[in-house]
Amino acid sequence: MTTDEKNERISLKAGEIKPFGAMPVPKVTPELLSTVRSGEVFSLEQIVETGVPFWEGHPPIVISPYVRHGDMPELAPASVGNEITTLPMHGGTHIDALSHIGQWKDGEIRLHGNIKVKDVMGKGGYAALGAENFPPIIVKGCLLDVAGCQGVDVLPDSYGITSEDLKNCQEKQGTEISEGVAVLIRTGFSKYWKTENERYSNCGAGINIDAARYLAECKVAMVGTDTEAVEQWPFDPEGPPLPVHTYLIVENGITHVESLYLEKLAEAKAYEFLFVALPLRIRGATGSQIHPIAIT
Amino acid sequence: MTTDEKNERISLKAGEIKPFGAMPVPKVTPELLSTVRSGEVFSLEQIVETGVPFWEGHPPIVISPYVRHGDMPELAPASVGNEITTLPMHGGTHIDALSHIGQWKDGEIRLHGNIKVKDVMGKGGYAALGAENFPPIIVKGCLLDVAGCQGVDVLPDSYGITSEDLKNCQEKQGTEISEGVAVLIRTGFSKYWKTENERYSNCGAGINIDAARYLAECKVAMVGTDTEAVEQWPFDPEGPPLPVHTYLIVENGITHVESLYLEKLAEAKAYEFLFVALPLRIRGATGSQIHPIAIT
Amino acid sequence: MTTDEKNERISLKAGEIKPFGAMPVPKVTPELLSTVRSGEVFSLEQIVETGVPFWEGHPPIVISPYVRHGDMPELAPASVGNEITTLPMHGGTHIDALSHIGQWKDGEIRLHGNIKVKDVMGKGGYAALGAENFPPIIVKGCLLDVAGCQGVDVLPDSYGITSEDLKNCQEKQGTEISEGVAVLIRTGFSKYWKTENERYSNCGAGINIDAARYLAECKVAMVGTDTEAVEQWPFDPEGPPLPVHTYLIVENGITHVESLYLEKLAEAKAYEFLFVALPLRIRGATGSQIHPIAIT
Amino acid sequence: MTTDEKNERISLKAGEIKPFGAMPVPKVTPELLSTVRSGEVFSLEQIVETGVPFWEGHPPIVISPYVRHGDMPELAPASVGNEITTLPMHGGTHIDALSHIGQWKDGEIRLHGNIKVKDVMGKGGYAALGAENFPPIIVKGCLLDVAGCQGVDVLPDSYGITSEDLKNCQEKQGTEISEGVAVLIRTGFSKYWKTENERYSNCGAGINIDAARYLAECKVAMVGTDTEAVEQWPFDPEGPPLPVHTYLIVENGITHVESLYLEKLAEAKAYEFLFVALPLRIRGATGSQIHPIAIT
């Protein structure tokens, strides 16, 4: 495949909205709007700033105020300020594009939809499944407060959340997981955000492969957590690496939202809501920082 | 003011939602929801990619895929890809925070709310009025298709849109500008996006100070355009620089959204809608890239 | 090859000095020192700043002063300033590492020394032939002022310098090209630096494959020019792309220095000198910015 | 001062060489060359790579290989690789420009030569005393192996080196500090480079104000160490912050080189040599990464 052919594949244009894996083209139906009762809005984003946790090997967030008020006296009496923001994936609240995870099969890496990595990967990022393909996300959301249901403020380090844990939590909360829903799972790990960054990044509670299978059977549209990896970290050393990422993203087209802030939502016992997230349409990227909200 | 005192001022925490200038804490009332009729969603973001226009003096958008699938064979059969994204303000569809514009008064630069720049500006950006203060934006939106109303596909270069132009457009469209609305103004300049970048950046049609005054009298919450500057560019050399930015942002706390993609919305003659934008809460920053939507 | 094995290959340590392709371990012999007569030093670097030419597709140089004097009042009466500098290859005066250019052979890309790219390329750059391998460069240098010898201030756009041109120039100047010398070739293109950037980047005079073969036969250690590509740009569309880069770097291990500033050296008719360049030892990188000098 | 006036001050052009504080225009005299005996070259640079120590608050070094071999099949049979390198000051072996440090006097910050910061600081960096002003550095160098003279492999954490320590070391080594020399001081702290980064950055041995005064009296041209701060870190909390930086750089125009690699030089007991460093001429910057060498 030549660069020209690759470029041709990078075809999504401004204004176009298509499904992206399990995430549908949004349609704001009366049924969906019925999830809005009080009309209150919850912000589920951690503040984007220097000093937030990130995986070893990734560069940190850098916010560099390179033009400051007063720098351009020729504009007086007006003045302007600007900055450059360098954002790595896995810094801050973000969503994984389907191009983020691949799987080796028959000597080649394939992405969701059996797309060969070598056909779409290049200097401009990914010619398929990049973040520009995200539709606006407007779906029914539900919160499973697993930590709360187990009576703790935070789950133990590296705790593997099972399908049983999810079902027990659903029962306690009275929460149904219907098709197309965005499931947000609370572990309580926000407690370690900026206070114990290494613990946040390296010891996260998260779902195991059994819970991932259960969520895929429920046909959820998306899974989000208040941790850095969605899945139990580290993953079970006996099994293959990144089992949950691989199973959900590559095999099922179900994206992940990581490092959510869910504390106030859990305090309010707001288990069902309208979930809205608007990923930046970054051409060829493997994800995007987002500011997701819940409307209750 | 010491660094510690400045840091103390940087106090907004994850989950907190406050008004930001003219932008209120969102409340999704039945009245607001009544703007949703078909439930169709329009994406108003230009794709974030290299090669998009930006103002001279600003660095461009850089998307650098530094970890590629296959780079970490120790994760096989899984594989991962990542990138670093360097985003300058005024690259892509974005919203201005109130810290973006100041005004000299009595020998000092002051921001909205009479805040002295010297009290809040530092290496970490702005200790007040930074982008982290954006609430989720969920307001009634209206489109004024000024180009369409004048029977052209794009307004002339550097055309100054007057209050008369806006009122004529309102009348033709039958569009009311009520208090708290987000007004989106279409000039047709998206035509030059990536095709004539210099023209897009340096010759934009936009509102003049007279139109800005009219919009402030209408008590709008926000003004957005499909151009890089919202205001007529270059501004009138007879008057002070950046008159619209200064008047709306510093004096009235009314933020700007720039480089919107409004073509499909205009084609659909969708003049009223629910407008949603979710700025990243970047601590101390002068703005944020956004993916705004209109729900009709 | 696993990541661990790759890391093992990245073995050069601080203080170690090895040959790098045609560039030897430096030894400052009396013979070499005999090139120093007046002891005058010429700076051959273009200033590193925003607005310098660079190839389309590369991001520009960004210098962002993110900590300014006054930002840290806790250090008073001292104060500090800092910046972040983002430097792409092919921005400014720089040297190509041997990892910069490869060649397809039998379905695989190979670097100098027949090293397979797939064995050494990864997220950390190149596990072999990266810029950290540059020894300090201290060799005899000679200037071939081809523009001057042809009686013009600058060679025509895209002019292909032949071996005949080089030999004629040598004869006129009385300059010998001995083994191990750094040959600097002047085209006069510095004239377009920052004044006609597109011309500088896209229409550079430079050596053609015939001249490259002649220089390799002379067993030079390095070739430098006052252009962006060393070779004639664009290269002959009838032949293979980048013939000079491929021939000199991949086949002969002879690195390139690009965007030299040679005007004062040429004015002084300083055709032989001690050439010194000290590339930054950037692990895994394909080159380094340098400030080369000539001591006459 | 307007932006235009500031720009006018940024006047140094490629090829120009001027003195910079205590650092003279280089002249390679026979006397200077007499320091070269064996002709052996020592590399004094730590490898530039991710994971090296840096001060809290500074972003780290990022090397991002965004164009890889194989990415541009249109160039076959040639192929190219590139990267973007993001270099902060105080990451890696570097030299401080005179713009790096200032001093409050009468309510204003002044740089070396009594230049008011407010007259020269702006979005493009510093209109005076920026890194572009560095001449090529070619001076007599001497190594004071303070750790070695005290019979230890590394000095104690935060050890303050006094003038007595320097004089004792000179006596033991038989090393004279003559006017215009570059003095390199070995503490042994390279031992902690990449092995104990926090210790390297926060607990460095270094000269105290008394030793700084002694070196200024000797009229040295430059001071370098194998630590991050040259001066004792932390500095004496009883006195003013950064006393050595302020005294040497602001008051005496004597620049610092930090994070040198001096192990092999010390092993060879090479106490006198020709010192060469070629700082990148980065317009307006507060310093430059360098690859310094010693020729013995």
Task: List A107's β-bridge partners, or say none.
Answer: none
C18-44 pLDDT tens trace: 999 999 999 999 999 999 999 999 999
Beta carbons of C77 and D103 less than 8 Å apart: yes
Say if strands A101-105 and B78-80 run parallel, antiparallel, or are unpaired: antiparallel
CA B64 to chain D, closest CA, distance in angstroms equals: 5
CA distance B161 to B188: 13
What is the average pLDDT score of chain B? 94
Report pLDDT for B9: 54
Q: Which residue of chain B has the CA closest to D65? A: B66
Task: Say if CB D21 and CB A20 are below 8 A apart.
Answer: no
Instruction: Count H helices and E strands in chain C, helices first.
Output: 10, 18
For B5, the token pair is: 């005192």
Q: How confident is the model at residue C59 (pLDDT cuts 50, 70, 90)?
A: confident
CB-closest option in B50, B77, B281 to A48 = B281
Sign for the CA dihedral angle at D20, D24, D28, D34 comes to negative
pLDDT exceeds 90 at position B88? no
pLDDT 10s digits, B55-65: 877 788 888 88
Is pLDDT above 70 for D228? yes
Residue with tokens 């509670």: A205
Asked if the Cβ–Cβ distance from A72 to D3 is below 8 Å, we say yes
The answer to whether residues C292 and D292 touch, using CB atoms and an 8 Å cutoff, is no
Q: Which of B9, B32, B41, B83 should one mutate to test binding to chain A, selecting the residue with the greatest count of A CBs within 10 A?
A: B83
Q: How many whole angstroms separate alpha carbon D103 and alpha carbon D117?
A: 9
pTM over the 0.90 mark: yes
Residues of chain C in contact with residue A107, where contact means CB-CB under 8 angstroms, are none
Angstrom distances, CA of residue C131 to CA of C21, C99, C225: 12, 8, 19
D38-D42-D44 Cα angle (round to 5): 155
- Report DSSP state, residue D48: B
Q: What is the DSSP letter of C86?
A: E
Q: CA-CA distances (angstroms) from residue D63 to A60, B85, D96?
A: 13, 13, 22
Collect all residues from C whose CB is shorter than 8 A from any CB in A. Answer: 57, 62, 64-66, 68, 84, 123
Residues of A in contact with B290 (CB under 8 A): 278, 280
Extract the tokens encoding C100: 């910069």
Residue C7 is predicted with a pLDDT of 47
pLDDT at A1: 44
Least confident of B249-263, C20-34, C55-69, D139-153: C55-69
Asked if C105's CB is within 8 angstroms of D241's CB, the reply is no
The answer to whether the CB atoms of A104 and B76 lie below 8 A apart is yes
Rg of the Cα atoms in chain B: 20
Q: What percent of chain A stands above pLDDT 90?
A: 85
Is 90 exceeded by the pLDDT of residue C185? yes
Give contacts of D84 with chain B, Cβ < 8 Å.
62, 64
Question: Which residues 6+ apart lie within 8 Å of C63 measured at CB?
Answer: C48, C49, C50, C83, C84, C85, C86, D124, D125, D282, D283, D284, D285
- Which of the two residues, D62 and A242, has the higher pLDDT score? A242
Q: How many Å from the N-terminal Cα to the C-terminal Cα in chain C?
A: 48
| Residue A10 pLDDT exceeds 60 | no
Residue of A nearest to B35 (CA): A28
**Residue D82 in this model has a pLDDT that exceeds 60:** yes
Three-class SS state of A102? strand
Closest Cα to residue D136, out of D265, D28, D296?
Answer: D28
CB contact under 8 A, B74 and C123: no
Inter-chain CB proximity B278 and A290 less than 8 Å: yes
Q: Do A36 and B47 touch (CB under 8 A)?
A: no
Closest by Cα among D102, D115, D92 to D44: D92
pLDDT at A227: 98
Tell me if B122 and C71 make a contact (CB, 8 A cut-off). Answer: yes
Residues 6+ apart with CB under 8 A from B157: B199, B203, B204, B205
Q: Compute the distance between CA of residue B98 and CA of residue B112 in angstroms, rounded to an integer.
A: 7
CB neighbour list of residue C97: distance below 8 Å, 6 or more residues apart: C20, C126, C129, C130, C131, C133, C134, C255, C279, C285, C286, C287, C288
Cβ of A73 and D2 within 8 Å?
yes
Whether C280 sits inside 8 A of D295 (CB atoms) is no
C55: chain B residues, CB-CB within 8 Å: none
Q: Per residue in A89-135, pLDDT tens?
A: 778 999 999 999 999 999 999 999 999 999 999 888 999 999 999 99
Contacts of residue D68 in chain B, CB cutoff 8 Å?
68
Output the pLDDT for position C10: 56
For residues D64-91, average pLDDT = 89
Residues of A in contact with C62 (CB under 8 A): 66, 84
Cis ω on the peptide bond leading into residue A77 (within 30° of 0)? Answer: yes
Is the omega angle on the peptide bond into residue A240 within 30 degrees of 0, that is, cis?
Answer: no
Query: Around Cβ A114, how many Cβ atoms within 10 Å?
Result: 9
User: Directed axis angle between helix A163-173 and helix A209-217, to 10°?
Assistant: 60
* CA pair distance D122, A69, nearest whole angstrom: 10
How far the first Cα of chain A sits from its last, in Å, is 48
Q: Are strands D182-185 and D137-144 parallel, antiparallel or unpaired?
A: parallel
* Average pLDDT of chain D to the nearest whole number: 94
Q: Which residue of C has its CA nearest to A64?
A: C66
Is the pLDDT at C281 greater than 90? The verdict is: yes
Q: Do D84 and B64 touch (CB under 8 A)?
A: yes
C100 pLDDT more than 70: yes
Q: Would you say residue A7 has pLDDT above 50?
A: no
Residues of chain A neighbouring D66 (CB-CB closer than 8 A): 123
Q: Select from D57, D65, D123 the Cβ nearest to the Cβ of B66.
A: D65
pLDDT for C77 beyond 50: yes
Say what the pLDDT of residue A9 is: 54
pLDDT for A55 equals: 80
| Two structure tokens written together for C84 | 């972040």
Q: What is the pLDDT of residues C124-159, one digit of tens each?
A: 899 999 999 999 999 999 999 999 999 999 999 999
